[in-house]
Amino acid sequence: MLIYTIKPGDSLYSIAKKYGISVQKLIDLNQLENPNQLSVGQDILIPIERITHVVMSGDSLYSIAMQHSITVNELLAINPELKSPYIIMPGQIINIPATNVNKPKIEVNGYAYPTISATVLQQTLPYLTYLSIFSYKVTAQGELVAIEDDGLIAAARRAKVAPIMAITNTGATGGFDSDLVGALLNNMAVQDRMIENIMITLAKKEYYGLNVDFEYIKAENKEKYNEFLMKIGNRLRKDGYILMTAVAPKLSADQKGTLYEAHDYPAHGKLVDRVIIMTYEWGYLYGPPLAIAPVKEVEKVIKYAVTEIPSKKILMGMPNYAYDWKLPFIKGSAAKVLTISAAQRQAYTVGAKIQYNENSQAPFYEYYDETGTQHIVWFDNARSTKARLELVNDYSLGGVSYWTINQFFKQNWLLLDSMFDIKKLL
């Protein structure tokens, strides 16, 4: 896919004409609800696959076309900036249509709440290996709080997607509860009851495996958590299930903070089948405005992770949401959560120019609301998504994991599909 960034004066008609495709195809590919509402700085995808050729001394368009087994007209179609008499110079970059490119095969996990719409689920399942249904809450007595997951499991299996049961240490107030998970890890009778309930549910519901998302575990329970993962992992594999965990984005083994300390990368690398690294939330709900997943910060985490965890076990986290903060930021205030599509529509509505931060490799825009309050919105677009997906190849990762798939951002899935083949296990 070619990524095109809207410039002043652009229209879908002019872009379609430039690349020799239909306006309707651009509308469909880019999920454009109103094709007349384009924002300067907005990314759209052009359905052209390409590689590049560096012009050498003596090259001509004809010789380049012959070298790549294409016609001159095909070459001109993917390089619309070339104008007659088509003079090219050594060092110039020429785009070449790429056909039958061998794509790496990866695994893709998507977290979904049971409230996901049937339409969004059906749109997304073709791009998934695993569907992690979020989530069964564990109680201090080792019981599980049931969720409405039957429809999602059935839909996943019809689409040859492996349904994964997710469990969390979510407390009564809705957040992750350190004391709750501590009680589970230190009381063997309660822990064994929880494991039995998990095994019963896995079999009854026809799940493919288990995703343990225990967060904010106190440092003193680190080894207890590792022991739990060993115990439940052995039990799962005995009955033919796989084990996943979700871990915080760490930069070192001794990183301080309750979010990080008990997530032992080397232990997870040995004890579980897939490790989902939550590489997002640099810009977070109650924090100051920042890119949600700045590529340089994500890469630092991955660079450390592959030294402790086999790279093919790693699924890199990908956010699928946007944040809108009021400015100036007041500590303790919360951003507004938007879908990526809503963030893009809002940019047009408020007349904002979408800017792109090269350091974070992420788009943002600023605007004033009807009360005169200034806002800043950080979100994702095709360029930022592609920048992070390229890390999968750079570090030979097993794949990616999306939080969450409850909203459908079509550009992401088209880019993913153009860069990778998605494994199916069923």
- Residues serving a catalytic function are 215
Give whole-number Cα distances, 73 to 17, 19, 66, 81, in Å.
15, 12, 12, 13
**HSE, side-chain direction, 13 A CA sphere, residue 343:** 29
Given a contact cutoff of 8 angstroms between Cβ atoms, the answer to whether 183 and 190 are in contact is: yes
CA–CA distance, 79 with 84 (Å, rounded to integer):
12
Q: What is the DSSP string of 188-240?
A: HHHHHHHHHHHHHHHHHHT-SEEEEE--S--GGGHHHHHHHHHHHHHHHHHTT
Strands 336-338 and 322-327: antiparallel
Three-class DSSP category at 379: coil
CA–CA distance, 159 with 86 (Å, rounded to integer):
48
**Residue tagged 């012959």 (tokens):** 66
CA–CA distance, 338 with 220 (Å, rounded to integer):
37
Q: What is the DSSP string of 90-129?
A: TT-EEEEE--SPPPPEEEEEEEE-TT--HHHHHHHGGG-S
- Report which residue type is found at 127: Y
Given a contact cutoff of 8 angstroms between Cβ atoms, the answer to whether 399 and 109 are in contact is: yes
Closest alpha carbon to 61 in 51, 71, 52: 71
